[in-house]
Amino acid sequence: MISASSKPIICCGFTPCIQRIIEFKKFEKGRVNRVLRLTNSVGGKGANTARMVTQLGGTSMLVSFLGGANGERVKKILAHEEVVFQHVEVTGETRICQTLIEENNPEPTELVEEMPPISIQDWDRMMMLLNSLEFSDRMVSVSGKLSIGAPIDAYAQISKMVARQGGRVMLDTPGESLLLALKHNPFLVKINDVELRHTMGSDNLIEASKELIQRGAQSVLITRGGHSAFYINKFETLRIYPPKIKAINPVGSGDAVMAGLAVELNQGRSIHEAIIRGMICGAANALTLISGLLELNDVDRLRGQVTIHKV
Protein backbone atom coordinates (compact mmCIF):
# COMPACT_ATOMS: atom_id res chain seq x y z
CA MET A 1 0.00 0.00 0.00
CA ILE A 2 1.27 3.45 -0.93
CA SER A 3 1.47 5.93 1.92
CA ALA A 4 -1.33 8.45 2.23
CA SER A 5 -0.91 12.08 1.21
CA SER A 6 -2.69 15.05 2.75
CA LYS A 7 -1.82 17.22 -0.24
CA PRO A 8 -4.64 18.53 -2.46
CA ILE A 9 -5.56 16.61 -5.60
CA ILE A 10 -4.87 18.89 -8.57
CA CYS A 11 -7.57 18.70 -11.24
CA CYS A 12 -6.63 20.18 -14.61
CA GLY A 13 -9.72 20.89 -16.69
CA PHE A 14 -9.26 23.64 -19.23
CA THR A 15 -12.79 23.78 -20.69
CA PRO A 16 -15.23 24.34 -17.77
CA CYS A 17 -18.78 25.45 -18.47
CA ILE A 18 -22.06 26.56 -17.06
CA GLN A 19 -24.11 23.35 -17.18
CA ARG A 20 -27.84 23.91 -17.80
CA ILE A 21 -30.03 20.87 -17.13
CA ILE A 22 -33.40 21.28 -18.85
CA GLU A 23 -36.24 18.88 -18.03
CA PHE A 24 -39.16 18.15 -20.35
CA LYS A 25 -42.23 15.96 -20.15
CA LYS A 26 -41.38 14.96 -23.72
CA PHE A 27 -38.93 16.56 -26.16
CA GLU A 28 -39.98 16.60 -29.82
CA LYS A 29 -37.62 17.79 -32.54
CA GLY A 30 -39.12 20.54 -34.71
CA ARG A 31 -41.86 21.34 -32.18
CA VAL A 32 -42.38 23.90 -29.42
CA ASN A 33 -41.21 22.23 -26.19
CA ARG A 34 -42.23 23.57 -22.77
CA VAL A 35 -39.61 23.33 -20.03
CA LEU A 36 -40.64 21.73 -16.77
CA ARG A 37 -37.54 22.73 -14.79
CA LEU A 38 -34.19 24.40 -15.39
CA THR A 39 -31.15 23.80 -13.16
CA ASN A 40 -27.83 25.63 -13.48
CA SER A 41 -24.56 24.16 -12.25
CA VAL A 42 -20.88 23.98 -13.18
CA GLY A 43 -19.74 21.39 -15.70
CA GLY A 44 -16.72 20.26 -17.65
CA LYS A 45 -14.69 17.15 -16.86
CA GLY A 46 -11.98 18.72 -14.71
CA ALA A 47 -14.45 20.92 -12.81
CA ASN A 48 -16.72 17.94 -12.13
CA THR A 49 -13.79 15.89 -10.86
CA ALA A 50 -12.67 18.67 -8.51
CA ARG A 51 -16.21 19.20 -7.20
CA MET A 52 -16.73 15.50 -6.47
CA VAL A 53 -13.32 15.14 -4.80
CA THR A 54 -14.50 17.87 -2.42
CA GLN A 55 -17.88 16.17 -1.92
CA LEU A 56 -16.07 12.95 -0.96
CA GLY A 57 -14.20 14.78 1.78
CA GLY A 58 -10.96 15.24 -0.14
CA THR A 59 -9.17 18.47 -0.94
CA SER A 60 -8.97 19.51 -4.57
CA MET A 61 -7.62 22.38 -6.62
CA LEU A 62 -9.16 23.05 -10.02
CA VAL A 63 -6.86 24.61 -12.62
CA SER A 64 -8.69 26.09 -15.61
CA PHE A 65 -9.32 28.93 -18.05
CA LEU A 66 -12.25 31.25 -17.25
CA GLY A 67 -13.62 34.28 -19.05
CA GLY A 68 -16.49 36.72 -19.25
CA ALA A 69 -19.75 36.83 -17.28
CA ASN A 70 -20.12 33.05 -17.43
CA GLY A 71 -16.64 32.72 -15.95
CA GLU A 72 -17.72 34.92 -13.05
CA ARG A 73 -20.75 32.68 -12.50
CA VAL A 74 -18.47 29.62 -12.45
CA LYS A 75 -16.28 31.28 -9.80
CA LYS A 76 -19.28 32.02 -7.58
CA ILE A 77 -20.62 28.48 -7.83
CA LEU A 78 -17.21 26.94 -7.10
CA ALA A 79 -16.72 29.26 -4.12
CA HIS A 80 -20.18 28.33 -2.80
CA GLU A 81 -19.27 24.63 -3.11
CA GLU A 82 -15.93 25.31 -1.36
CA VAL A 83 -13.90 24.12 -4.33
CA VAL A 84 -10.44 25.71 -4.40
CA PHE A 85 -9.47 26.92 -7.87
CA GLN A 86 -6.77 28.79 -9.73
CA HIS A 87 -7.35 30.03 -13.24
CA VAL A 88 -6.05 32.03 -16.16
CA GLU A 89 -8.41 34.83 -17.19
CA VAL A 90 -9.13 34.84 -20.94
CA THR A 91 -11.03 37.23 -23.20
CA GLY A 92 -13.42 34.60 -24.58
CA GLU A 93 -16.69 33.80 -22.79
CA THR A 94 -16.77 30.57 -20.77
CA ARG A 95 -19.09 28.20 -22.58
CA ILE A 96 -22.61 27.02 -21.74
CA CYS A 97 -23.52 23.35 -22.21
CA GLN A 98 -27.04 22.00 -21.98
CA THR A 99 -28.45 18.61 -21.02
CA LEU A 100 -32.00 17.85 -22.22
CA ILE A 101 -33.81 15.27 -20.10
CA GLU A 102 -37.19 13.67 -20.79
CA GLU A 103 -39.31 11.98 -18.14
CA ASN A 104 -38.77 8.20 -18.14
CA ASN A 105 -35.97 8.41 -20.71
CA PRO A 106 -32.57 7.38 -19.29
CA GLU A 107 -30.67 8.74 -22.32
CA PRO A 108 -30.15 12.53 -22.14
CA THR A 109 -29.45 14.74 -25.14
CA GLU A 110 -26.29 16.84 -24.87
CA LEU A 111 -25.84 20.25 -26.52
CA VAL A 112 -22.13 20.99 -26.10
CA GLU A 113 -20.57 24.37 -26.87
CA GLU A 114 -16.88 24.63 -27.59
CA MET A 115 -14.70 26.94 -25.52
CA PRO A 116 -13.57 30.01 -27.51
CA PRO A 117 -9.98 29.67 -28.77
CA ILE A 118 -7.19 30.64 -26.42
CA SER A 119 -4.04 32.44 -27.52
CA ILE A 120 -0.43 31.33 -27.27
CA GLN A 121 -0.05 33.96 -24.54
CA ASP A 122 -2.97 32.39 -22.63
CA TRP A 123 -1.23 29.00 -22.74
CA ASP A 124 2.08 30.54 -21.69
CA ARG A 125 0.33 32.04 -18.65
CA MET A 126 -1.21 28.66 -17.87
CA MET A 127 2.25 27.07 -17.94
CA MET A 128 3.49 29.78 -15.59
CA LEU A 129 0.62 28.96 -13.23
CA LEU A 130 1.33 25.23 -13.39
CA ASN A 131 5.04 25.82 -12.85
CA SER A 132 4.17 27.62 -9.62
CA LEU A 133 2.43 24.54 -8.19
CA GLU A 134 3.96 21.66 -6.26
CA PHE A 135 3.34 18.21 -7.76
CA SER A 136 5.57 16.08 -5.55
CA ASP A 137 3.63 13.12 -4.10
CA ARG A 138 0.37 14.43 -5.54
CA MET A 139 -2.43 12.93 -7.60
CA VAL A 140 -2.97 15.06 -10.70
CA SER A 141 -6.01 14.46 -12.90
CA VAL A 142 -5.93 15.87 -16.43
CA SER A 143 -9.33 15.68 -18.09
CA GLY A 144 -11.20 16.69 -21.20
CA LYS A 145 -10.52 17.97 -24.68
CA LEU A 146 -7.79 20.51 -25.16
CA SER A 147 -8.84 24.13 -25.51
CA ILE A 148 -8.72 25.29 -29.13
CA GLY A 149 -5.42 27.14 -29.53
CA ALA A 150 -3.55 25.05 -26.96
CA PRO A 151 -0.55 23.10 -28.31
CA ILE A 152 -1.33 19.50 -29.22
CA ASP A 153 1.37 18.34 -26.76
CA ALA A 154 -0.12 20.36 -23.89
CA TYR A 155 -0.95 17.27 -21.83
CA ALA A 156 2.51 15.87 -22.57
CA GLN A 157 4.00 19.08 -21.17
CA ILE A 158 1.95 18.73 -17.98
CA SER A 159 2.71 15.01 -17.64
CA LYS A 160 6.43 15.71 -17.98
CA MET A 161 6.26 18.47 -15.36
CA VAL A 162 4.42 16.25 -12.86
CA ALA A 163 6.65 13.21 -13.49
CA ARG A 164 9.80 15.24 -12.86
CA GLN A 165 8.50 16.17 -9.40
CA GLY A 166 7.34 12.66 -8.50
CA GLY A 167 3.59 13.16 -8.85
CA ARG A 168 1.13 10.71 -10.40
CA VAL A 169 -0.91 11.70 -13.47
CA MET A 170 -4.34 10.30 -14.32
CA LEU A 171 -5.33 11.16 -17.90
CA ASP A 172 -8.91 11.24 -19.15
CA THR A 173 -8.63 12.40 -22.76
CA PRO A 174 -8.64 10.72 -26.18
CA GLY A 175 -6.74 11.19 -29.41
CA GLU A 176 -3.37 12.65 -30.23
CA SER A 177 -3.09 14.66 -27.01
CA LEU A 178 -3.26 11.37 -25.08
CA LEU A 179 -0.81 9.54 -27.33
CA LEU A 180 1.80 12.30 -27.03
CA ALA A 181 1.57 12.22 -23.23
CA LEU A 182 2.29 8.49 -22.99
CA LYS A 183 6.06 8.90 -23.23
CA HIS A 184 5.96 10.48 -19.77
CA ASN A 185 4.45 7.31 -18.25
CA PRO A 186 1.12 8.49 -16.80
CA PHE A 187 0.05 6.45 -13.79
CA LEU A 188 -3.41 5.77 -15.26
CA VAL A 189 -5.29 6.38 -18.49
CA LYS A 190 -9.05 6.49 -17.89
CA ILE A 191 -10.90 6.25 -21.20
CA ASN A 192 -14.28 5.04 -22.38
CA ASP A 193 -14.71 2.34 -24.99
CA VAL A 194 -15.81 4.68 -27.81
CA GLU A 195 -12.85 7.01 -27.26
CA LEU A 196 -10.43 4.09 -27.12
CA ARG A 197 -11.69 2.68 -30.42
CA HIS A 198 -11.38 6.06 -32.13
CA THR A 199 -7.93 6.71 -30.65
CA MET A 200 -6.39 3.34 -31.46
CA GLY A 201 -8.43 2.33 -34.51
CA SER A 202 -9.24 -1.07 -33.02
CA ASP A 203 -12.40 -2.78 -31.72
CA ASN A 204 -10.32 -5.06 -29.48
CA LEU A 205 -10.36 -3.06 -26.25
CA ILE A 206 -7.90 -5.26 -24.38
CA GLU A 207 -5.30 -5.27 -27.16
CA ALA A 208 -5.74 -1.51 -27.68
CA SER A 209 -5.12 -0.96 -23.97
CA LYS A 210 -2.01 -3.13 -24.07
CA GLU A 211 -0.71 -0.97 -26.91
CA LEU A 212 -1.22 2.13 -24.75
CA ILE A 213 0.83 0.41 -22.06
CA GLN A 214 3.57 -0.50 -24.56
CA ARG A 215 3.70 3.19 -25.49
CA GLY A 216 4.20 4.23 -21.86
CA ALA A 217 0.97 4.17 -19.84
CA GLN A 218 1.38 2.37 -16.51
CA SER A 219 -2.25 1.22 -16.52
CA VAL A 220 -5.55 1.68 -18.36
CA LEU A 221 -9.14 1.76 -17.06
CA ILE A 222 -11.82 1.41 -19.76
CA THR A 223 -15.33 2.45 -18.74
CA ARG A 224 -18.41 1.40 -20.69
CA GLY A 225 -21.32 3.24 -19.06
CA GLY A 226 -23.47 0.81 -17.10
CA HIS A 227 -21.63 -2.19 -18.58
CA SER A 228 -18.56 -3.88 -17.16
CA ALA A 229 -15.29 -1.96 -17.16
CA PHE A 230 -11.76 -3.27 -17.73
CA TYR A 231 -8.52 -2.50 -15.91
CA ILE A 232 -5.23 -3.49 -17.53
CA ASN A 233 -1.60 -3.15 -16.44
CA LYS A 234 1.55 -5.10 -17.24
CA PHE A 235 0.67 -7.83 -14.76
CA GLU A 236 -3.09 -8.37 -14.84
CA THR A 237 -6.34 -7.77 -16.68
CA LEU A 238 -9.47 -7.27 -14.59
CA ARG A 239 -13.15 -7.07 -15.47
CA ILE A 240 -15.15 -4.84 -13.12
CA TYR A 241 -18.92 -5.05 -12.80
CA PRO A 242 -20.54 -1.80 -11.59
CA PRO A 243 -23.66 -1.53 -9.43
CA LYS A 244 -26.97 -2.11 -11.21
CA ILE A 245 -28.94 1.14 -11.08
CA LYS A 246 -31.71 3.02 -12.88
CA ALA A 247 -29.86 6.09 -14.09
CA ILE A 248 -31.41 9.55 -13.89
CA ASN A 249 -28.59 11.52 -15.58
CA PRO A 250 -25.34 9.68 -16.39
CA VAL A 251 -23.52 12.85 -17.54
CA GLY A 252 -20.42 13.28 -15.39
CA SER A 253 -20.19 9.67 -14.25
CA GLY A 254 -16.77 9.22 -15.84
CA ASP A 255 -15.60 12.25 -13.86
CA ALA A 256 -17.04 10.67 -10.73
CA VAL A 257 -14.94 7.57 -11.41
CA MET A 258 -11.86 9.81 -11.61
CA ALA A 259 -12.78 11.54 -8.35
CA GLY A 260 -13.27 8.27 -6.47
CA LEU A 261 -10.00 6.88 -7.81
CA ALA A 262 -8.05 10.02 -6.90
CA VAL A 263 -9.39 10.26 -3.36
CA GLU A 264 -8.70 6.61 -2.57
CA LEU A 265 -5.20 6.66 -4.07
CA ASN A 266 -4.44 9.92 -2.24
CA GLN A 267 -5.39 8.17 0.99
CA GLY A 268 -2.94 5.37 0.29
CA ARG A 269 -5.45 2.74 -0.82
CA SER A 270 -4.55 0.02 -3.33
CA ILE A 271 -5.49 0.36 -6.98
CA HIS A 272 -8.11 -2.39 -6.54
CA GLU A 273 -9.76 -0.48 -3.68
CA ALA A 274 -9.56 2.72 -5.72
CA ILE A 275 -11.25 1.11 -8.74
CA ILE A 276 -14.11 -0.17 -6.59
CA ARG A 277 -14.62 3.28 -5.06
CA GLY A 278 -14.44 4.90 -8.48
CA MET A 279 -17.10 2.61 -9.96
CA ILE A 280 -19.36 3.23 -6.96
CA CYS A 281 -19.01 6.98 -7.45
CA GLY A 282 -19.74 6.68 -11.17
CA ALA A 283 -23.03 4.91 -10.40
CA ALA A 284 -23.90 7.34 -7.60
CA ASN A 285 -23.46 10.34 -9.92
CA ALA A 286 -25.88 8.78 -12.43
CA LEU A 287 -28.55 8.65 -9.68
CA THR A 288 -28.63 12.45 -9.40
CA LEU A 289 -30.11 14.99 -11.78
CA ILE A 290 -27.14 17.36 -11.53
CA SER A 291 -23.95 16.13 -13.18
CA GLY A 292 -20.91 16.30 -10.93
CA LEU A 293 -22.95 15.66 -7.79
CA LEU A 294 -22.56 12.77 -5.35
CA GLU A 295 -25.03 12.00 -2.59
CA LEU A 296 -22.92 10.32 0.09
CA ASN A 297 -25.90 8.18 1.11
CA ASP A 298 -25.89 6.68 -2.40
CA VAL A 299 -22.13 6.14 -2.24
CA ASP A 300 -22.49 4.30 1.06
CA ARG A 301 -25.54 2.31 -0.11
CA LEU A 302 -23.77 1.05 -3.24
CA ARG A 303 -20.77 -0.19 -1.28
CA GLY A 304 -20.35 -3.92 -1.83
CA GLN A 305 -22.14 -3.86 -5.19
CA VAL A 306 -18.99 -3.82 -7.33
CA THR A 307 -17.35 -7.12 -8.25
CA ILE A 308 -13.94 -7.72 -9.87
CA HIS A 309 -12.86 -10.82 -11.80
CA LYS A 310 -9.49 -11.62 -13.34
CA VAL A 311 -9.54 -12.14 -17.10
- Report whether 143 contacts 173 (CB < 8 A): yes
Could you give all domains of the chain from N- to C-terminal order, each with its CATH number? Answer: 9-310 (3.40.1190.20)
pLDDT in tens, 259-309: 999 999 999 999 999 999 999 999 999 999 999 999 999 999 999 999 999
Residue 5 has pLDDT above 70, yes or no: no
Directed axis angle between helix 45-55 and helix 253-266, to 10°? 50
Q: In the structure, what pLDDT confidence band is assigned to residue 1 with cuts at 50, 70 and 90? A: very low
User: For 226-243, what is the mean pLDDT?
Assistant: 97
Q: How many CA atoms lie within 13 A of 32 on its CB side?
A: 1
Q: Which residues of 224-261 are buried (b: 16+ CB within 10 A; e: fewer)?
A: eebebbbbbbeeeebebebbebebebbbbbbbbbbbbb
**Using CA atoms in the order 233, 224, 273, 172, what is the torsion angle rounded to 10 degrees?**
70
Q: Structure pTM?
A: 0.94
Q: What is the pLDDT of residues 103-150, one digit of tens each?
A: 988 889 999 999 999 999 999 999 999 999 999 999 999 999 898 999
Average pLDDT over residues 233-240: 97
What distance in Å separates the CA atoms of residue 311 and residue 308, rounded to the nearest whole number? Answer: 10
Q: Is the pLDDT of residue 6 over 50?
A: yes
- 4 pLDDT tier (thresholds 50, 70, 90): low
DSSP 235: S
CA-based end-to-end distance of the chain: 23
